Copies of this chain bind each other. A is one copy, B any other.
Amino acid sequence: MSSLQITGLRTLPEVGAGADLSRLIVDATQKEAAGLQTGDVVVVTQKVVSKAEDRIVDLRTVKPSAFAKSLAQQWEKDPRQVEVILRETRRIVRMDQGVLIMETHHGFVCANAGVDRSNVPGDDNVSLLPVDPDRSAEEIRRGLGVEAAVIISDTFGRPWREGTTEVAIGVAGMDPLWDYRGRRDAYGYVLRSTEVAVADMLASAAGLVMEKASRVPVAIVRGFPFETGEGGGRRLLRAPTKDLFR
Q: Which residues of A contact B (CB under 8 A)?
A: 2-8, 10, 94, 96-97, 99, 101, 108-109, 117-123, 155, 158-167, 176-178, 180, 183-187, 189, 191, 194-198, 200-202, 204-205, 207-209, 211-216, 224, 235-238, 242-246
A207 CB to closest chain B CB (Å) equals: 6
Name the CB-closest residue of B to A226.
Answer: B208
Given A101-B244, A119-B187, A185-B212, residue A205 in contact with residue B162 (CB < 8 A):
no
Given A163-B236, A189-B118, A237-B162, residue A4 in contact with residue B208 (CB < 8 A):
yes
Report the bound CA distance from A202 to B5 in whole Å.
13
Q: Is the CB of A209 within 8 A of B2?
A: yes
Name the CB-closest residue of B to A120.
Answer: B187
Given A160-B237, A167-B161, A189-B119, residue A207 in contact with residue B201 (CB < 8 A):
yes
Among B2, B8, B191, B214, point to the contact of A186 (Cβ < 8 A): B214
Q: Is the CB of A119 within 8 A of B4?
A: no
Q: Is the CB of B117 within 8 A of A189?
A: yes
A161 CB to closest chain B CB (Å) equals: 5
Name the CB-closest residue of B to A210.
Answer: B2
Q: Is the CB of A4 within 8 A of B2?
A: no
Q: Is the CB of B238 within 8 A of A213?
A: no
Report the bound CA distance from A148 to B89 in whole Å.
44
A65 CB to closest chain B CB (Å) equals: 24
Q: List 7 A-B contacts (CB under 8 A).
A: A4-B7, A96-B244, A155-B196, A159-B243, A163-B178, A183-B212, A186-B213
